[in-house]
Every structure is written in structure tokens, then in C-alpha cells.
A and B are shown apart, each in its own frame.
Chain A
Amino acid sequence: MSIEVRHICKRFGAFTALDDVSLAFPEGELVALLGPSGCGKTTLLRVIAGLEPPDSGQVLFDGEDASGTHVRERRVGFVFQHYALFRHMSVFDNVAFGLRMKPRRERPSEAEIRRRVMALLELVQLDWIADRFPSQLSGGQRQRIALARALAVEPKVLLLDEPFGALDAKVRKELRRWLRRLHDELHVTSIFVTHDQEEALEVADRVVLMHRGRVEQVGTPEAVYHHPATPFVYDFLGSVNRFEGRVEETGLRVGEALLPHEAPFPAGEEVVAFARPFELDIVAAESGQGMPARVARVLVFGASARVELEGEGEPGRRFEVELPRERCAALALSPGQPVRLVPARLRVFAAH
């Protein structure tokens, strides 16, 4: 089922959680709502689910206005960050809950419920713990049971609120790959909320970036990562080096330094420029083009090396550069060494 939200506004007292948000979620896609905490992503998810009434705006399911319907009737599967499994029920009874609550006419027989619950538990690979209680499960297992419970009522939409937020790093990674595979199997239109950019980029078909109750950018993970539309998006998606300066004929003037750049901005314009760690090169020269800096730390793990630097004359200013290991070895950097940072690529935005 496709979902559309139109001009959703939601305020909590003086705080604006959603500020005129309009989005379309096509059928069968797995979409990530990504943003820092307080950006309104969870509120948007709850508005779509019907758990939170918007102040204004519409929610459309398959083109039909669902704004007036109760969460009970929306047929959405909702998965909570802290699982919200019913503690007094076994795993089996938790998953069977939705089926058993159906009106008598629609309720399947106990045998049919048993068959469907066991099939779902097999799907989440936990059929061997059907008789246990939630308190006896690990976090990852609980979240998979919560997902099976949500799927039991055959929802038309699956909504997940920070589904892996309460899990440790290793389980998170496993579970998000598993969620991706599950989605490829089921093709239920799914939206999940996360503040973890790596998670969003790795799992989702499309990413919606939100900031202060507004949508900053919508696109595929590649598109938002490589072509960020706003400084916020650039800053939020991964580590970044930030330069504030003015455009000149020959490049970008940042303080005393001149960075080579062919800007589409007229000379004299105040701009903010960004470069990812792997887009900066280190030149072992004390003068010439580039940003003067001093090596602070060199970290070599795996195929690439990470170099942390301090701005020359500005010890508070930090830069981060990622180099191939060989290149780093050839430079023979040592802490305290003065170098120049030359961007291979700069992404420039107008300062205001």
C-alpha cells in the first residue's frame, strides 16, 4: 500500500515537531526517516500510524484519506524501540495476540492461529522459543518477536520506531541486514525511523532526511550521500571537514589559506564548503596552496589510515583525513608535523 502525507503540522506546546511536511512513500519500498533527535521523525511515524493526531494535514493510504480512522482500523504494524512485548504472555501468545483480538466472525480457529504463529516464528527464526516469556529473551530476540507480532495481523504497512536503537552494535548490524532480507521477501511498504546514518544508508531503498520538523532531502542512499542538497545533510551524513570563507578568482579564500576550487559562485560571495575525510589530501609542504595544519594523531586500521589534524594557529580546529595506507606510509607523518590540506573535491553552499 502506498502512503502519502500532505501538509502535516504538529506542535507540542511551544515546540514545533512537524512543520508542513509533505511526503510520498511508494508501495513496497523500505524508507528510512533519518535525523537527529527532536527532528520530528518519530512524531511523523506516529502520525502515520494514527497514534498521534496531527494539528493539520492529511494522511492518505492508497490515495484515500485515512486521517479520521483509528489506529485499530489502519492495519499498520507498529514496532516500538523498547519492543512493548506483553510481559505476562509467552512468545507464542504475544504473536497470536492480534489474531485472537479479531471479532469472532473474522477470527481464525485455534488450529489456524497456531499454524500462522508458528510460520511467523519460523520466519523470524525463533520458532524454538515459542513457550518462553519476553523476560527470558535477549534484546535482539525480543525485537524479532515484536516484528513477528506486528506481521501477524497482515499489516498493509510496517512502521518501525528506532527498531535497533536499544541494541548493542554487533546485534544492530546483524538485525539490520536481516530486516533488509525480510523486506525483500515480504515487500510490505515499510518506514523505519533512525538517527544512525549508517543504518539508514545501508538498509533503506530511500532516505528522508529531517531537521527541525522539516524535510531536508529525499533520495536514494547514494544520492543523499554523494549529492547532499543542504549543508545540514552534508554535515549529518558521516564525518566532514568544514571550511567557511569567500570565493575569489583563483579559488576559495579561508583565512590566510587559498583552496583550489572552481566555484559556480561569483567572486566575493561568502560560502560554507565541505570535504569528506577521503576527499582531502595531505601535502608535506609548509607553503603553497591548501589549508595549513599540524598532525595530531595517525591511526592505521585495515586498508586505510585516518589522520587527525589541528588547524595551524587554531588548536581548537579539527580536521580528519582518510588516506590509503601506502600513501600514508609514503608521507611518513609524525605528530606535530606541519602540513597542508588540499581538497580534491569541495562541496560549496552559500553561507546564508
Chain B
Amino acid sequence: MSAHTGVLPGFRLTLGYTILYLSLIVLLPVAAVFGKTLELGWGEFVDVVSNPRVLAAYRLSFGAALAAAAIDAVFGLLLAWVLVRYSFPGKRLVDALIDLPFALPTAVAGIALTALYAPNGWLGGWLAGLGLKVAFTPLGILVALVFIGIPFVVRTVQPVLEEFEPEFEEAAASLGACRWQVFRHVILPHVLPAVVTGFALAFARAVGEYGSVIFIAGNLPFVSEIVPLLIIGQLEQYDEAGATAIATVMLVASFALLLVINALQAWAARRGGKEQ
């Protein structure tokens, strides 16, 4: 595009701003993480990140985030479906409630969940009776991550479902498909790219989540200690290089996962033969 012949003015200015902004806000901090890590030699770096306690935290952080995003994908789709397809009293209220985990300060969410699920909390006491311990276990972390991730799925799937006309379902039904077949072969393929996007967003958020998790997690090493907490631990001991080493692995892993999800999405979109 040329600035002289284009109809839209200010191409150079806006592109320059975009690059500057991205550099300052995104690239610089990321580069700093790598730069600080380089203060460690390769051997030290491997020592830090292969420490069993650190490995356990990685497993927990990524495992719980994936599980939470998967749960959100299923139930987020269901929620979006209900909000789009049916009208019922209080629908607008329910619709507004979806955004609550977005808006709530994470520490508030964390305290609320802990109060609820702690052994002396309303739900915690009852669940303890069933032999189920939620607070201060990995299960508690999962609950917190599911809570903060749900709006991402609902809000990405909702608009896609809204543009999905009932005509497609009617066509499928007139061709003899039952409800399950209509969902499996017609609706799901249509919304799948959006569900995957929602999943990716929920996952990205969950991996880095701190505030809502630390209260309910209990932070027992090897059991319920998440990676961000380890990083803070290192920082508190003035081991900045160690902290950034742990962070680097997390950064690379998250980036790789998002890349895979993006590729999946591009593949799904191509297969969907998106119109115009």
C-alpha cells in the first residue's frame, strides 16, 4: 500500500506507532526475560529448571490449565448455546454474570473460592463429608482456573452461534438427521474453530493466573505449588536469574502451545471453507 495513492490516510504514522508500541510493551519485556536468563550458564539453567520441585510445578500449572480450558470449552459451549437459542426470564442477568470472572479482581475471586471450599466453608464442609477435599489441593486450583476461564469460551462462541441460522438445522432435520446427528455433524463443525479459540484464550489466561489460585492452592511443594509462585519465591531470595530461567521455559512452552492451537484453527477454518 502506498501512502500517496491509498484512500486511507496515515499509513506510515499508524504502522510506525504500531511497531513502536509492540516493541515497548510486548517485545522489550520478553527480551528482558531471555537476557536475564543468559546470565546463567547452560548447566546452571538446566539445574534450575530440572529441579524436581520446579518440574512438579510445571506439570501442575500446564496440566491444570489444560484441564480447566477443556472443561470451559465444553460448558462454555453449552452456556453460549442456551444464551443464543432460548429466551427465558433473567436471560440478560445470566448474560451479564458470564462477564463477572473478567471483572472481578482475581484476589477477590481467590478469597471467595477459598472461603467457599475450605474445610470449614459452606461447600467445603459438605464435600469433606463425601471424602472430597478441594481447597489446598490441585483440585482447588482447577476450580479457580475453570472459574476465571469460562467467559473466554462463552464470549468467543456466542457470536458464531448467533450467525448460525436455524436453516442449517432445518435442512439437516428434513434430510432425516436426529438431534444428536444435527449437533455432531452440522452445529459442532461450524462452532469448533470458535471453541478452539476460546479454549486457547482460557488456557493462556489459566497458565499465568496467580491471584485467584494462590489462596485456594495451599502452595504445598510438589503438590499444589504453581509456577508463578515459584518465580516469586526465587525473586524473594534475590535470585533474579533463577526466576527468569523458570519463566523462560514457561514462555517458550506457552508460545509453542498457542502456535499449535493457531495451526489447528487455520486448518479448521480452511476445512470449513469460510465464505468470503
The residues in B between 230 and 251 inclusive whose CB is less than 8 angstroms from any CB of A are none
Contact partners of A77 in chain B: CB under 8 A: 174
Whether B272 and A88, one on each chain, are in contact in the complex, defined by CB atoms closer than 8 angstroms, is yes
Contacts of A89 in B (CB 8 A): 189
Query: Does A98 belong to the interface (CB within 8 Å)?
Result: yes
Contact flag A82-B167 (CB < 8 Å), given A87-B273, A101-B181, A135-B274: yes
Number of interface residues of A (CB under 8 A): 28
Bound: A78/B173 CA distance, A: 10
Q: Is the CB of B185 within 8 A of A97?
A: yes
- Contact (A101, B175) CB under 8 Å given A88-B271, A135-B273: yes
- Which residues of chain A have C-beta atoms less than 8 A from B174's C-beta? 49, 51, 71-72, 74, 76-78, 150
A311 in contact (CB, < 8 A)? no
Given A87-B190, A88-B271 in contact, is the A98-B170 Cβ separation under 8 Å? no
- B175 touching A149 by the CB < 8 A rule? yes
* Minimum Cβ distance to chain A for residue B186 (Å): 6
CB-defined contacts of A84 to chain B, threshold 8 Å: 165, 167-168, 170-171
CB of B40 within 8 A of chain A? Answer: no
The DSSP consensus for interface residues of chain B is helix
Q: Which residue of B lies closest to A75 (CB)?
A: B176
Closest to A136 in B: B273
Q: How far is the CA of A82 from the CA of B163 in the complex (A)?
A: 14
Q: How far is the CB of B207 from chain A (nearest CB, A)?
A: 30
| B178: Cβ under 8 A from any A Cβ | yes
Q: Mark A138-162, 1 if CB is under 8 A from B, else 0.
A: 0000000000011011000000000
Interface string of B165-206 (1 = CB under 8 A from A): 101101111111110010001100110000000000000000
Q: Which residues of B contact A88 (CB under 8 A)?
A: 189-190, 271-273
B157: min CB distance to chain A, Å: 16
Give the contacting residue for B186; candidates A86, A102, A134; CB below 8 A.
Answer: A86
Q: Which residues from 42 to 94 on chain A have a C-beta closer than 8 Å to any C-beta of chain B?
A: 49, 51, 70-72, 74, 76-78, 80, 82, 84, 86-89
User: Are B273 and A98 in contact, CB atoms less than 8 angstroms apart?
Assistant: no
A120 to chain B, nearest CB (A): 13
Q: Are B271 and A86 in contact (CB under 8 A)?
A: no
A133 an interface residue at 8 Å Cβ cutoff?
Answer: yes
Q: With A and B bound together, what is the CA distance between A129 and B9 in angstroms?
A: 43
Q: Which of A51, A82, A98 contacts B176 (CB 8 A)?
A: A98
B276 — which chain A residues lie within 8 A by C-beta? 135
A76 — which chain B residues lie within 8 A by C-beta?
174
Shortest Cβ distance from B188 into A: residue:
A88
How far is the CB of A218 from the nearest CB of chain B, in Å? 26
Whether B167 and A87, one on each chain, are in contact in the complex, defined by CB atoms closer than 8 angstroms, is: no
Contact residues in B for A71 (Cβ distance below 8 Å):
170, 173-174
User: By the criterion CB–CB under 8 Å, are B176 and A153 in contact?
Assistant: yes
B179 and chain A: residue at smallest CB distance: A72
**Min CB–CB distance B212 → chain A (angstroms):** 37
A12 to B150, CA, bound (A): 37
Cross-chain contact A72 with B186 (CB below 8 angstroms): no
Among B171, B173, B275, B276, residue most surrounded by chain A Cβ atoms (within 10 Å): B171
A303 vs B167: C-alpha distance when bound (angstroms): 45
List of A residues within 8 angstroms of B173 by Cβ: 51, 70-72
Given A101-B185, A102-B176, are A87 and B274 neighbors across the interface (CB < 8 Å)?
A: yes
- Report how far A78 CA is from B175 CA in the complex, Å: 8
State the CA gap A49–B174 with chains docked (Å): 8
With A86-B186, A88-B190, A101-B181: A78-B171 Cβ-Cβ less than 8 Å = yes
> Closest B-chain residue to A50, C-beta based?
B174
Q: Which of A80-123 contact B (CB under 8 A)?
A: 80, 82, 84, 86-89, 97-98, 101-102
Nearest CB in chain A to that of B169: its residue? A84
Residues of B within 8 A of A134 (CB): 273, 275
Q: What separation, in Å, do the CA atoms of A49 and B275 have in the docked complex?
A: 28
Contacts of B272 in A (CB 8 A): 87-88
**CB-nearest residue of chain A to B269:** A88
Query: A98 vs B171: C-alpha distance in the bound complex, in angstroms?
Result: 10
Q: Point out the residue from B165, B176, B273, B275 that lies within 8 Å of A101, measured CB to CB.
A: B176
- Report the minimal beta-carbon distance from A117 to chain B, rounded to whole angstroms: 13
Give every chain B residue within 8 A of A135 (Cβ-Cβ).
273-276
Residue of A nearest to B168 (CB): A84
Chain B residue contacts of A133, Cβ below 8 A: 273
Interface residues of A in 208-238 (CB under 8 A from B): none
Is the CB–CB distance between B274 and A72 below 8 Å?
Answer: no
Q: Which residue of A lies closest to B178 (CB)?
A: A72
Q: Which residues of B contact A101 (CB under 8 A)?
A: 172, 175-178, 181, 185
How far is A98 from B186 in the complex, measured between Cα atoms in Å?
Answer: 12
CA A193 – CA B272 in complex, angstroms? 30
Complex Cα gap A136–B274 (Å): 10
Distance A213 CA – B273 CA, assembled complex (angstroms): 40
Q: Which residues of A contact B271 (CB under 8 A)?
A: 88
- In the complex, A97→B173 CA distance in Å? 11
In angstroms, Cα B176 to Cα A97, docked, is: 9
Cβ of A152 to closest chain B Cβ, rounded Å: 8
| 14 A-B contacts (beta carbon < 8 Å) | A49-B174, A51-B173, A51-B174, A72-B177, A76-B174, A86-B171, A87-B273, A98-B176, A101-B176, A102-B176, A134-B273, A134-B275, A135-B276, A149-B171
* Known A49-B174, A84-B168; further 20 A-B contacts with Cβ < 8 A: A70-B173, A71-B174, A72-B178, A77-B174, A78-B171, A78-B174, A84-B165, A84-B171, A86-B171, A86-B185, A87-B273, A87-B275, A88-B189, A88-B190, A89-B189, A98-B175, A101-B177, A101-B181, A102-B176, A135-B275
